[in-house]
Amino acid sequence: MLDRLKSVEDRYEELNILLGDPTMFNDQERYQKIVKEHAELGPIVECYRAYERTLREIEEGKELLAGATEREFRELVREDLNALEARAVALEADLREMIAPRDPNDNRSVIVEIRAGAGGEEAALFASVLYRMYTQYAAARGWRHELLDLNETELGGFKEVVFSIDGKGAFSRLKYESGVHRVQRVPVTESGGRIHTSTVTVAVLPEAEEVDVEINPNDLEIDTFRASGAGGQHINKTESAIRITHRPSGIVVTCQDQRSQYKNKDKAMLILRTKLLENERARTEGARAADRRSQVGTGDRSERIRTYNFPQSRVTDHRIGLTLYRIDAVLEGDLDDVINALVAADRADALGHGDAEE
């Protein structure tokens, strides 16, 4: 770790020299990149230097203690040493977290897809519950959400819902939600009071920008159709809904929530770019994922990650063995206890992996 931190410090000093060069202003793009890198490395270097300074003070304190003869003075020196050693431990923990591998997509907004799985109408009804849970969570954090596509059932459930959550750091929090969510409860359609088990799949994708993915218009097949409501009832007399097929990948996306055909097309293109970016991300991370299976899961939407048991008011996250007995609060969007535990487990796993590589 110390070798890596010394390299970071050397790079920081190199950037200081570059920023002091007047000719740097001639290339604004390069200048902005250097300013950004300098700002990112600054806190790490400051913490590293404080850590090094504390280690030197510990060595000086030990030397002082070894030569001290008076009892009261030795006790004062030992107290100072204890405080310095505690500070060194805290600074080392901060440094390990700062240099731990981070997902470059963490600051991005997200596209969320929720689909009813096994369980028919009950699964669709629970999909609508999860949609409300995530939008409530987004609102509590000051993030905006926008509905992009919806396939609703006659009872108000969602066979499929696609929506965006716009907010810095949304992916860093919500990426742990990808996978199979299982619900155990008595369905509204069940007259005998029997508990049913149903599943809903959730996929959380980092939102792509236009510069991230280049799409050849000739690769697209664009169709228009009438937006429809529950049970196939038409809710729009004009063909404003959009279906886009990307021929090379076979990806098909639809958007019908907006009344304007142009707005639906823009939203559909956003979803398409996001899915193409995710495909590329999955390919490039394939080798790393095979080498390191995080204890909080792979993000695979086929992996069962959580159970919501209504009779016991229980929510269990199977990846980290976390169980909470307050299902109502969780489904109202109070997800921080769950997500914080997942973030902590993921960070601990990343730090452990980093130590193994050293």
Compare 257 and 53 and report the one with higher pLDDT: 53
Residue whose token pair is 């907006």: 258
Q: What is the pLDDT of residue 294?
A: 45
Could you tell me if residue 253 is inside a domain?
Answer: yes
Q: How confident is the model over 241-255, as a mean pLDDT?
A: 87
Residues 110 and 201 in one domain: yes
Q: How many domains does the chain have?
A: 3
Q: How confident is the model over 5-19, as a mean pLDDT?
A: 93
For the chain, the residue count is: 358
Residues 120 and 201 in one domain: yes
The CA-atom distances, in angstroms, between 73 and each of 63, 78, 79 are 13, 9, 10
Q: What pLDDT, in 10s, does the model give residues 84-125?
A: 999 999 999 888 878 776 777 888 899 999 999 988 899 999
Compare 200 and 277 and report the one with higher pLDDT: 200
Residues 224 and 190 in one domain: no
Residues 268 and 197 in one domain: no
Residues 133 and 195 in one domain: yes
Residues 74 and 116 in one domain: no
Residues 6 and 141 in one domain: no
Residues 325 and 280 in one domain: no
Do 271 and 294 form a contact (C-beta atoms < 8 A)? no
Q: What is the pLDDT of residue 210?
A: 67
Domain range enclosing 147: 105-207+295-358
**CATH number of the domain within which 266 lies:** 3.30.160.20
Last residue of a domain, one of 265, 284, 303: 284
Could you tell me if residue 289 is inside a domain?
Answer: no
Compare 1 and 21 and report the one with higher pLDDT: 21
Residues 131 and 110 in one domain: yes
pTM: 0.66
Q: What is the pLDDT of residue 228?
A: 61
pLDDT band at 36 (very low <50, low <70, confident <90, very high): confident
Residue 241 has pLDDT above 70, yes or no: yes
Q: What is the pLDDT of residue 266?
A: 82
Q: What is the residue-wise DSSP string for 28-93?
A: HHHHHHHHHHHHHHHHHHHHHHHHHHHHHHHHHHHHHHHH---HHHHHHHHHHHHHHHHHHHHHHH
**CATH number of the domain within which 119 lies:** 3.30.70.1660
Residues 227 and 280 in one domain: yes
Could you tell me if residue 290 is inside a domain?
Answer: no
Q: What is the pLDDT of residue 229?
A: 53
Q: What is the pLDDT of residue 131?
A: 97
